[in-house]
Structure 1
């Protein structure tokens, strides 16, 4: 059995099992799983699944949609799934048939009287309403076909006609592409930008033997708009920053210059600071030309890019006289991890970039990962032994951990680490922000919510990282268990018609808000040891979910589309006023004073653990590193006798530094980590 066949079997078994539990059609359970994966990978931010979007006569369909307000692209989803024992090849004819029906949905939306085609109370009506209401802003349409079947390597691209002057493209996620993404160690699928039809003139300012290059170029505004229209926020992922819709002074100034003084745009604007992991340059009679870029990233100039794009789409701005200087640094994949965060931090002068913007390398993840591998979860109903919740700090860790195991060892691994207990970074952000009363942030989608979560965690880490201890991890798992249980339960309610993600986050936030307002908190010891989730919690959350559902889908809501309404602070303010009786869950609550006492104890334990970890790290650090640290201290005129004395202990293999000394030494490593990393990269 090859890897792809094994993956197909594992994926369909997981989806079927989840479908049975949740009472949901396999097609939509599969689509939800894949769209979560693609959302995590930055393909789009939030999405809505439409479970009633198939015409009985087979003329049109829509299984889901996503509207990206940063580059005004509309994504429409359709799933083509097989439940057979072996995956059959997906044909071009099947793909074209599905896309034709998606196109028909859009055309009906634009040309027909909506209530005569779509039931007004249905989710497909809401989808049609969103398309119609935003049609003037929509710049392009992406038809996304998701399938657990592989396509032939020889299949040609599907070419589509425009719809009302909106370019349409097909994005196919078949079994092979999904497997490659999920099993890859990369957070994102590789991005190849082809300039061969219109090469970009450049000047190579620096080119070393290790492959690092510094390149200068001038980027035409029209070319930048084309890139952003195709790739969207994926170009900006290294400096997670939301476009401010021209509310900030910088964006207003950019827009004004584009519209009123385009000839001076180049002079006024600082341009783009970019990185890439590969470049192809051809020498021509007109000089060197960039013909291909791999994994281009805009690390400074994200707001400029989005502002130019918005002016082009919304104001129909003429960009023929708009161009920007572009500084491009080409780095290897390994060097990118070390240097891109620094380039981003140093290059951004207009708007401060915090450590939260560079959160993918934050030590919070490392600690959470360590807890997830070490801490056993008590035996739950339906399980025969204790298990772990697997925290996937980096893309592909879960599958990679099983890649070279025998069948028996792989089965054992999956029993100890069930796929249902897999947590990604965006999962954690969604769960914790829901319980911490930020449902409007969660409703904005995986990436925006993660950016908010990163900001909050980074601030707390700087203030006191000891709060992220074993108690925090147990709280996370208890919250995750309830969150996922509610996701399943809500699907079976008679009143349920969609918008599960919004209902779950708001119901949990409302309950959590009420508990906090009464100066209470959850008794984690009881909830951690419980073999089942207390029925009192689920009953209360089901009632709240229904109440949120009634508000969200009310005909009198001030915002037309429910998913858009859920992103607003005003909806959360309304939900706060819903009746919430916590009497039924009172036996699971304790005073905040008791919780504080538990927190103090947990912080003390974490401090001891940190000391032991620091000792271990010091012992594993080579003497040559400590020599370099000492030189940096001397260069900075910061070499006090006490620090030099502690460094001598670290250099002596016969001496064991104390926990206190080790903590100081680890801080020195952190202080000089950037210089030490640079030295390592240069030498290697």
Structure 2
């Protein structure tokens, strides 16, 4: 359990990272615009949140303008890979003094300002903006997909504590709008946990008075407890609509679209014979950290009333296909039921059992062993090399984050005092941290495959690992030369990204950074 000291130290480290980024990593620098620290804070936070699948494809861009008595404000936006969800970020950044609390009304005000921004961005705001400014690209992109988006979401970010856990959902011209308050404590939990499983708490009685009718499997193991249930298709749709990829974090793959034979079969069944879906589909396999079951001793009936830490470890294709059929094709799910095996697994067995469940339970599409990426020998060796190889001068090194949140865990573990935190930041600054997805972007950009980089983080990484398994022998591992060259490519890629930010391209900065690699290669 996190303590006030842990959260305070986390905030101190975060502010130090922001100050370093403001000064370009040199420890000095000229004065900056008042909103610049707020944007750096937004950039760091949304990067972390994208790493734990809380948001997708974040772009930081500040906008603020008054419209009569109303103010429209935003610090950036993110659009999901399937363009179903538009996230708008708005930050309430203090950055001074000790860890404190922010008044709930300040959070509500930020929510109203973000809502106003969405209303204006999806209206006629674009015509009043300068096409050469970055906010033009942000508004243009939001307006471009607004008609087809299924949901808006406002993420309110703050480096203070907040007692306001939620703001009531609304809608804009019939499109649902929800709010997520991410204060410093929640941000700390997300980063330290690496995966936001504890955030997914489902009260099934909010969908059905009794919850989910279930059968309790015999107690055959001390490692887990199992239940069998039927989940209505509409409930599964609403869960995925709310949590998106976070619901599938323990799944070995992302949604493969409707290209494969099996996915097309799911789509066609939902369209033409939804009443036969349960007969034709294998269902899903899920794990939970906690489960509440109501048992009627008189009738023997059991109902799952609530779960915490829900993860669909097998059946991601089924879940995403149901969501797409309901959202895009307006399929009636009233007769769709999905068989579900739900396992309550002991905490110390999760990392051992969940990958095995994903591997052995899946029979719909072939799974490449490279999908189990964090423990792939390639990534294990890259992590080892990053811990041993220092930059020229032996004063600092790069940090390869093999598992999510590893950088923050390492900082917390080794740097407890302000002096130790400063030393850690000097030797391993955040600018020299990179993860598996970033590594794929570095290397594929150099190999002149910008089309793959532009697919989006997860799809780019999946292609990289598949290609890696096909082009390297089974026992091949990176060596010191390979690692140093990878870092050289990282430096070039990060510099290209930095240039696109400084030039304030109005949109598609990620594509601008990678597509020069499509030009003919210069001599070595």
* TM-score calculated relative to the size of structure 1: 0.68
Residues 76-119 of structure 1, C-alpha deviations (whole Å, 9 max, x = no match): 11122123233442222112212212212222244x43444444
Distance 2:8 2:121 in 1: 40
Q: Does the 8 A contact of 1:90 with 1:150 survive in 2?
A: yes
Residues 365-408 of structure 1 deviation map (CA, whole Å, 9 limit, x = unaligned): 221121111112112xxxxx522212222333333334355535
Alignment partner, residue 29 of structure 2:
none
Q: Match of 2:412, SS?
A: coil
* Structure 2 equivalent of residue 477 of structure 1: 487
Match of 2:450 among 407, 425, 439: 439
Task: Give the structure 1 partner of residue 501 of structure 2.
Answer: 491
Change (3 A) 1:280 1:480: same
Is the contact between residue 40 and residue 447 of structure 1 (CA under 8 Å) also seen in structure 2?
Answer: no
The structure whose Rg is larger is 1
Report SS of the residue matched to 1:102. helix
**Larger RCO, structures 1/2 (Cα 8 Å, 6+ apart):** 2
Range with bigger deviation, 311-320 or 245-254: 245-254
Q: Which residue of 2 aligns with 1:514?
A: 521
CA deviations 1:163-212 (Å, max 9, x no partner) are 22222211111111122222335576642222233311111123246251
Q: 1:17 to 1:403 in 2, by over 3 A?
A: closer
Match of 1:66 in 2: 78
Q: Partner residue of 1:645?
A: none
Match of 1:502 in 2: 511
| Structure 1: runs of 5+ lacking an equivalent | 380-384, 521-588, 590-684
Q: State yes or no: 1:21 paired with 2:14.
A: no
Q: How many residues align?
A: 504
Counterpart of 1:279 (choices 271, 285, 291) is: 291
Equivalent-residue separation in structure 2 for 1:178 and 1:115 (angstroms): 33
1:188/1:465 Cα in 2 relative to 1: closer, same or farther (>3 Å)? farther
* Residue 398 (structure 2) aligned to one of 376, 381, 389: 389
Shift in alpha-carbon separation, 1:295–1:115, aligned structure 2, 3 A: closer
Q: Which residue of 2 aligns with 1:250?
A: 262
Higher mean displacement: 275-284 or 243-252: 243-252
Aligned pairs for 1:123-142 (under 5 A) are 123-142=134-153
Describe the superposition over 1:241-292 as per-residue Cα deviations: whole angstroms up to 9, x where unpaired: 3434433332332222222222222111121122333322221356111122
Which of 428, 439, 455 aligns to 2:466? It is: 455
Counterparts of 2:53 and 2:121 in 1: how far apart (Å)? 28
Aligned twin of 2:7: 4
Distance in 2 separating the partners of 1:401 and 1:315? 46
Structure 1 contact 78–146 (Cα < 8 Å) conserved: yes
Q: Contact 2:85/2:149 (CA < 8 Å) preserved in 1?
A: yes
| CA spacing shift, 1:219–1:70, aligned 2, 3 Å | farther
Aligned-pair CA distance for 1:318: 1.2
Does residue 192 in structure 1 map to residue 195 in structure 2?
no
For 1:44-98, what per-residue CA distance to the aligned partner results, in whole angstroms no more than 9, with x for missing partners? 33122223x2225662123222222448122111122123233442222112212
Distance 1:295 1:453 in 2: 30
Check whether the contact 1:212–1:332 (CA below 8 A) recurs between aligned residues. Answer: yes
Judging by fraction of residues, say which structure has more strand: 2
Partner of 2:155: 144
Cα 1:192/1:212, change in 2 over 3 Å: same
Equivalence for 2:191:
182
Q: What corresponds to 1:315 in structure 2?
A: 329
Aligned residues of 1:45 and 1:68 also touching (Cα < 8 A): yes
Assess, with a 3 A threshold, how the Cα gap between structure 1 residues 188 and 469 changes in structure 2: closer, same or farther. Answer: farther
What secondary structure, in the 3-state scheme, does the structure 2 residue paired with 1:167 have?
strand
1:266–1:322 Cα contact (<8 Å) kept:
yes
Match of 2:388 among 365, 371, 374: 374
Which of 52, 55, 66 pairs up with 1:44?
Answer: 55
Indicate if the aligned counterparts of 1:238 and 1:358 stay in contact, CA closer than 8 A: no
Give the Cα separation in 2 of the matches to 1:364 and 1:280: 40
Provide the rounded CA distance (Å) in 1 between the counterparts of 2:285 and 2:423.
Answer: 48
* 2:237 paired residue number: 225
* Corresponding residue of 2:111: 99
CA distance in 1, matches of 2:350, 2:165: 34
**Quick one: distance in 1 between partners of 2:107 and 2:129?**
24
Pick closer, same or farther for the CA change 1:267–1:301 going to 2, 3 Å. same
Contact persistence 1:203–1:217 (CA under 8 A): yes
Give the number of the structure whose residues are more often helix, by fraction: 1
